[in-house]
Amino acid sequence: SVNGLVGSEMCIRDSYSTAAASFASPFVLGTSLAGIDAGTLQFSNLIILWGANISDTRMGCETEARIREARARGVDVIVIDPRRSASVARLGTQWIPVRPGTDTALMMAVLYVLLDEKLVNTAFVQEYSVGFDELERHVLGLAGAEARTPRWAEEVCGTPAEAIAQVARQYGRTHPTALIPGLSIQRTIGGEEASRMAVALQVATGNLGIPGGSSGSPLWNKLPHPRMGEISVPSNPVRSSVPVYSWPDAILEGKRGGYPSDIKAIYNVGGNYLIQGSDIHKNTRAFDQVEFAVCHDYVLTPTAQHCDIVLPTTTFLERDDIIFPDGGNYLLFSNQVVPPLPEAKNDYDIFGELAARLGFLSDYSEGKSAEEWLKSFVANSEVPDYEEFRRTGIHVGADQLRVGLSDFVADPQSYALNTPSGRVEISLAAYAETGFSPIPECRILETTDRYPLRLVTPHPKFRIHSQYDNIPWFKERERQALWIHPHDAAERGIENEQKVCVASPEGTTRIIAYVTEDILPGVVCLLEGAWPSFEPDGADTAGAANVLTSTVPTLPSHG
């Protein structure tokens, strides 16, 4: 589906998902395709899930199974997360708690121990990277700043210094190690820095580009999928763009606020941005301000409820489609299992009906139905037979053990990276032009007396963001509640199951408390994606996380 907003005078860029990592990766590695096939985890001797909750978020069809397989082989799986996630319970051998948004500091302390105990692979660092010595001086406290020791990091991260030292030693002594970061570590202020530091760690330990290792990029699972035909879309002639988080500001302020245009309408397809974007109250004001809003969806989402026209669309169960994995050398055929419900149409056909009424159907469809397009895509692909693909539902590419950047590591001259030096850029001269430090630096949002708790909003197991929040069976299995540590609860006189009021400068939600030791003190957790339900006083009572979040971006990525 098409996700985002396009205007006649401006378009929207980036995503709520990966903006900081997508920004940093090309600077550091010269590419965003630096992932691994999950099968290569069979060569790992240690796996670190750094802010990644694979048991719930999946990130590829076989990733969890591969990690479980490694664990059954006796491989340790370290999970670094502010809460004891499902991955700790199902996959982990160790839970290392960390305050959200402080991973750069924790990674620096790990590097400090690696340096201090001579566990850095110096030959690897010299052959494959530039600028490591600057980072080394910074971490050791030789460049002005305080040394990034485990004691220093304990203060910042809430992680016990001994645990940091122990993880660093095990990491430095076990080869190969797959460091698998989640996207959570970059969906925060300073997320660009955490993205860069994880790569620096995999270089320091000689794990980048080798079977059983990984590049450490938060886009760790991105590699090409098998070749498949696609519609060639004419390039968008509109040059000016705004980052996605600022769409409500662009609407509310328009040219007056320095944005490229005054937006009059919203056409929303395949997204529920009213509640999935930060700051639901601001988003609602933006929807209320436009003259006209249209939505294609199959449920009456909060976004659809704010639209003038809702065009009912089919679900993936009511149509055939070809599915690209996020990484992984395979393609999936998604088979229709039921006829469309009355009045529901594929997005393709809805746009087709509009194109016909606007007089450009033949340009739009090139005379093809949705099924004819699918057949033409397969004809221009490496999939040998459409009917066979449809019957089996899967096409598997030949090589299932790809390691991103392995060609570079095998032959750094012939396969130089697409960076100014041709190598991994630990220190970035080009990055300095953005006004930010050439080496990674800790940028951490401090709490205040009025707002002393840090909130994490992880992805739910039984929803895809806001999808399926309307299904009671799922709600029973994963209750929407505020996770809070017993110390924090006791300080506030809160008991388990009691209704609490959670407030930020942006808004308020009233929801039951789940008092648990599965979260670090000072941190609370509310799963993202709950549909808000507003009381007359403006407070939400459903635990909708984005009632509390703000549109303050992390820079320079504007994520």
Ligand X SMILES: Nc1nc2c(c(=O)[nH]1)N[C@H]1C(S)=C(S)[C@@H](COP(=O)(O)OP(=O)(O)OC[C@H]3O[C@@H](n4cnc5c(=O)[nH]c(N)nc54)[C@H](O)[C@@H]3O)O[C@H]1N2
Q: Find the binder of ligand X among 80, 250, 428, 484 (CB under 6 A).
A: 80
Strand order in the sheet with 499-503: 454-456, 523-525, 482-484, 508-515, 499-503
Q: Which is nearer to ligand X, 101 or 404 (CB)?
A: 101
Distance from C-alpha of 520 to C-alpha of 81, rounded to nearest angstrom: 9
Residue recorded with tokens 């190969």: 176
Asked if 7 is part of the footprint of ligand X (rule: CB under 6 A), the reply reads: no
Q: Find the binder of ligand X among 46, 185, 210, 378 (CB under 6 A).
A: 185
Strand order in the sheet with 309-312: 265-269, 292-297, 309-312
Asked if 183 is part of the footprint of ligand X (rule: CB under 6 A), the reply reads: yes
The CA–CA distances, whole Å, from 131 to 34, 136, 440 equal 20, 9, 11
| Closest by CA position to 324, among listed 41, 2, 60, 15 | 60
Asked if 297 is part of the footprint of ligand X (rule: CB under 6 A), the reply reads: yes
Asked if 98 is part of the footprint of ligand X (rule: CB under 6 A), the reply reads: yes
Question: In whole angstroms, how close is the CB of 420 to ligand X at the nearest point?
Answer: 30
Determine contact, residues 167/106, Cβ cutoff 8 Å: no
Question: In whole angstroms, how close is the CB of 321 to ligand X at the nearest point?
Answer: 8
Record the tokens describing residue 453, joined without a space.
Answer: 């708790």
Q: Find the binder of ligand X among 457, 509, 554, 557 (CB under 6 A).
A: 457
Asked if 464 is part of the footprint of ligand X (rule: CB under 6 A), the reply reads: yes
Q: Which is nearer to ligand X, 210 or 304 (CB)?
A: 304
Q: Find the binder of ligand X among 150, 248, 458, 553 (CB under 6 A).
A: 458
Question: In whole angstroms, how close is the CB of 172 to ligand X at the nearest point?
Answer: 20
| Closest by CA position to 407, among listed 399, 39, 420, 376 | 399
Residue recorded with tokens 């990984």: 214
Asked if 96 is part of the footprint of ligand X (rule: CB under 6 A), the reply reads: no
Size of the site for ligand X (CB under 6 A): 55
| Partners of 242 in beta bridges | 12
| Closest by CA position to 209, among listed 407, 346, 353 | 407
Question: In whole angstroms, how close is the CB of 17 to Mo ion at the nearest point?
Answer: 3
Question: In whole angstroms, how close is the CB of 549 to Mo ion at the nearest point?
Answer: 15
Distance from C-alpha of 192 to C-alpha of 213, rounded to nearest angstrom: 22
Position with the least CB separation from Mo ion = 17
Asked if 25 is part of the footprint of ligand X (rule: CB under 6 A), the reply reads: no
Question: In whole angstroms, how close is the CB of 32 to Mo ion at the nearest point?
Answer: 15
Helix axes 150-157, 161-173, angle to 10 degrees: 120
Count CB-CB contacts under 10 A for residue 380: 11
Asked if 418 is part of the footprint of ligand X (rule: CB under 6 A), the reply reads: no
Phi, psi (rounded to 5 degrees) for 99: -70, 140
Part in contact with Mo ion (CB under 5 A); list of ranges 15-23, 309-317, 494-502, 539-547 = 15-23
Asked if 558 is part of the footprint of ligand X (rule: CB under 6 A), the reply reads: no
Q: Find the binder of ligand X among 138, 390, 465, 485 (CB under 6 A).
A: 465
Q: Find the binder of ligand X among 32, 33, 42, 58 (CB under 6 A).
A: 58
Residue recorded with tokens 């978020």: 57
- List Cβ neighbours of 81 (8 Å cut-off, separation of 6 or more): 49, 51, 53, 87, 88, 95, 96, 97, 98
Asked if 549 is part of the footprint of ligand X (rule: CB under 6 A), the reply reads: yes
Part in contact with ligand X (CB under 6 A); list of ranges 98-106, 352-360, 437-445, 496-504 = 98-106
Q: Which is nearer to Mo ion, 3 or 241 (CB)?
A: 3
Q: Which is nearer to Mo ion, 154 or 279 (CB)?
A: 279
Angle at 35 between CA 60 and CA 385, to 5 degrees: 60
Record the tokens describing residue 452, joined without a space.
Answer: 């002393």
Asked if 32 is part of the footprint of Mo ion (rule: CB under 5 A), the reply reads: no
Asked if 305 is part of the footprint of ligand X (rule: CB under 6 A), the reply reads: no
Asked if 281 is part of the footprint of ligand X (rule: CB under 6 A), the reply reads: no
**DSSP conformational letter for 79:** E
Question: In whole angstroms, how close is the CB of 208 to ligand X at the nearest point?
Answer: 20
Asked if 480 is part of the footprint of ligand X (rule: CB under 6 A), the reply reads: no
Asked if 101 is part of the footprint of ligand X (rule: CB under 6 A), the reply reads: yes
Question: In whole angstroms, how close is the CB of 81 to Mo ion at the nearest point?
Answer: 18
Asked if 17 is part of the footprint of ligand X (rule: CB under 6 A), the reply reads: yes
Write out the DSSP string of 41-67: GGG-SEEEEES--HHHH-SSSSHHHHH
User: Of all residues in the chain, what percent are helix, strand and coil, respectively (each to 5)?
Assistant: 35, 15, 50
Determine contact, residues 27/188, Cβ cutoff 8 Å: no
Question: In whole angstroms, how close is the CB of 343 to ligand X at the nearest point?
Answer: 14
Asked if 63 is part of the footprint of ligand X (rule: CB under 6 A), the reply reads: no
| Partners of 403 in beta bridges | 36
Asked if 17 is part of the footprint of Mo ion (rule: CB under 5 A), the reply reads: yes
| Closest by CA position to 302, among listed 315, 288, 316, 313 | 288
Asked if 296 is part of the footprint of ligand X (rule: CB under 6 A), the reply reads: yes
**Per-residue interface string for the shown chain with ligand X, residues 240-279, x marking contact by CB under 6 A:** -----------------------------xxxxx--x---
Write out the DSSP string of 263-303: --EEEEES--HHHHSS-HHHHHHHHHHSSEEEEEESS--HH
Residue recorded with tokens 């396009």: 6
Site for ligand X, rule CB under 6 A = 1, 3, 16-17, 50-53, 56-58, 80-83, 85, 98, 100-101, 103, 182-185, 187-188, 269-273, 276, 296-299, 301, 313, 347, 456-461, 463-467, 528-529, 545-546, 549
Site for Mo ion, rule CB under 5 A = 17
